[in-house]
Amino acid sequence: MARDLRGFIKILEERGQLRRISAPVDPDLEIAEISNRMLQQGGPGLLFENVKGASFPVAVNLMGTVERICWAMNMQHPQELETLGKKLSLLQQPKPPKKISQAIDFGKVLFDVVKAKPGRDFFPACQQVVIEGDDLDLNKLPLIRPYPGDAGKIITLGLVITKDCETGTPNVGVYRLQLQSKNTMTVHWLSVRGGARHLRKAAEKGKKLEIAIALGVDPLIIMAAATPIPVDLSEWLFAGLYGGSGVNLAKCKTVDLEVPADSEFVLEGTITPGEVLPDGPFGDHMGYYGGVEDSPLIRFQCMTHRKDPVYLTTFSGRPPKKKR
Ligand SMILES: Cc1cc2nc3c(=O)[nH]c(=O)nc-3n(C[C@H](O)[C@H](O)[C@H](O)COP(=O)(O)O)c2cc1C
């Protein structure tokens, strides 16, 4: 099974579900437009190998069909998704088993939880290259701008990792980030999201919030991060439950956070509470442009990546038709 992004790309290629594109493409509008057309036709995952202005390939549409989502979750058939749903509901509302068969089922689920605990990698692939200070330039990443009315370049499929400054419990969510300068981005998280809660708490304590963005991870982890789960449950454990074994984590270089060791790229930074910049507008999944909102500003001090990283991206929903 795939335990990292490149493992999943290999699986798609072996199963005839990946197309490599060597013609030059522009991350401004063109990548999203080509990908959108392919997605509508149920086409394969795409790997753009020659992206204008960037030296890294861009993967998109990897989970563009139910079949590929099943493969990402290490399943062969959509019916298996139902079995997983039952397992997860057992964990969410555990009731004392009344029959031996129920006790056996519950025991199996508990065993799965033990297997799902994250592991630790001390020499992680995601830190093969380390870029710090003035050398850090986010313009070198092939960030896309999907739609003509979009305000700028965005990260669409990054794991945004923060920590509760009191309990230390991490939160992992997928939130849109807009490029603001060579080392800053704004993060667009709704006020109910885990990251927003952590920032409010850090502000109350008069602290800065540390933040890491992991780009290009095992699709299973993206799925876990995009699943709304109880606040005290770690997304890492949840991803391990999805995958049947624990996620390998590594300590970041400059912040006290953990990231998937096999990420393609990792960005490390901090948010000073109250420091905001206008973010948006961007086309959203309903087919409209959203508004402009003051959003927290992240200042990045470090980027690490694998030696030959692949940048994974996506775009949201149907192309926008008109302004809100
Ligand atoms: C591709 C993608 C983009 C998303 N973008 C955002 C976003 O910009 N802001 C947001 O608040 N949620 C966004 N979400 C939804 C959250 O990731 C999701 O609700 C997640 O469960 C939030 O985690 P949390 O409850 O731990 O904060 C996105 C989800 C996906 C799959």
Give residue 110's pLDDT.
67
The residue contributing the CA closest to ligand 1 atom 12 is 175
Strands (E), 194-317: 209-215, 248-251, 258-260, 265-279, 288-289, 293-305, 311-312
Residue 261 covered by a domain = yes
Give residue 217's pLDDT.
97
Q: Evaluate if pTM is beyond 0.85.
A: yes
Pocket of ligand 1 (CB under 6 A): 156-157, 171, 173-176, 188-190, 193-195, 226-228, 314
Mutation pick for ligand 1 pocket among 193, 198, 293 (CB with most ligand atoms within 8 Å): 193
Please state the atom number of ligand 1 nearest to the C-alpha of residue 228: 21
Beta carbons within 8 Å of 167's beta carbon, 6+ residues apart: none
Residue indicated by tokens 């020499």: 123
Residue 101 covered by a domain = no
The number of folded domains in the chain is: 1
Residue 280 covered by a domain = yes
88, two tokens: 């997860």
How far is the C-alpha of 51 from the C-alpha of 144, rounded, in Å? 10
Mean pLDDT by 10 residues, the chain (324 residues): 89 97 98 94 97 97 93 85 77 65 69 83 97 97 96 97 95 97 98 97 98 96 88 86 89 98 98 98 90 98 98 85 51
Residues constituting the chain: 324
Please state the atom number of ligand 1 nearest to the C-alpha of residue 314: 1
How far is the C-alpha of 259 from the C-alpha of 184, rounded, in Å? 20
Please state the atom number of ligand 1 nearest to the C-alpha of residue 227: 21
How far is the C-alpha of 250 from the C-alpha of 260, rounded, in Å? 6
Residue 107 covered by a domain = no
CA of 302 to the centre of ligand 1 (A): 24
* 19 CB-contact burial (10 Å; exposed 0-12 / middle 13-18 / buried 19+): middle
CA of 190 to the centre of ligand 1 (A): 8
CATH code of 318's domain: 2.30.110.10
Using CA atoms, how far residue 152 sits from 51, 143, 145, 148, in Å, is: 17, 9, 6, 10
By C-alpha distance, which of 318, 321, 313 is closest to 36? 318
Query: What are the residue numbers of the active site?
Result: 284
Residue 264 covered by a domain = yes
CA of 72 to the centre of ligand 1 (A): 19
Strands (E), 41-88: 45-48, 58-60
At position 307, the amino acid (one-letter code) is: K
Q: Helix axis angle, 235-243 relative to 100-115, nearest 10°? A: 110
Beta carbons within 8 Å of 246's beta carbon, 6+ residues apart: 115, 116, 117, 118, 119, 236, 240
Please state the atom number of ligand 1 nearest to the C-alpha of residue 173: 23
Residue 154 covered by a domain = yes
Residue 9 covered by a domain = yes
How far is the C-alpha of 258 from the C-alpha of 163, rounded, in Å? 10
CA of 194 to the centre of ligand 1 (A): 10
Give residue 245's pLDDT.
87
Task: Supply the range of the domain harboring residue 246.
Answer: 5-76+116-323
CA of 159 to the centre of ligand 1 (A): 9
The residue contributing the CA closest to ligand 1 atom 20 is 226
Residue 106 covered by a domain = no
136, two tokens: 């850090």
